Amino acid sequence: MIGKAERGPVAIEAIRNNKSAYLMAVGGAAYLVSKAIKHAEVVAFADLGMEAIYEFDVVDMPVTVAVDSKGESVHNTEPKKWQAKIGKIPVEVI
């Protein structure tokens, strides 16, 4: 699954239960993502057009693992890491 937005608890649970992953593409990088797709095939819901479910063959697609097969989401883990780092940076009040 590839998208641009955060996944909710139900989706994360489904990803974990199916030992899958959610890949996140950077907004605005559609051109780069599209160039990585070498072949596309509709596998379900063809009547939905662009919202159909596709299977892609890709090479060097610029995406990041946002939710891994264990259900760990970067939307949960990374803000805590950055808050800890930023909290250690002295802030000068002008």
94 within a domain of the structure (yes/no): no
What is the pTM for the complete model shown? 0.70
Q: How confident is the model over 53-76, as pLDDT tens digits?
A: 999 999 998 899 999 999 999 988
DSSP-assigned letters across all residues of 36-71: HEEEEEEEE-GGGGGGSEEEEEESS--EEEEE-TT-
Q: Is residue 92 part of a domain?
A: no
Amino acid code (one letter) for 72? E
Residue carrying structure tokens 């063959």: 57
| pLDDT recorded at residue 89 | 67
Looking at residues 22-47, what average pLDDT do you find?
Answer: 90
Q: How many domains does the chain have?
A: 1
Helix (H) or strand (E) holding 23: strand 22-25
Query: Is 93 within the bounds of a domain?
Result: no
Range of the domain at 83: 2-87
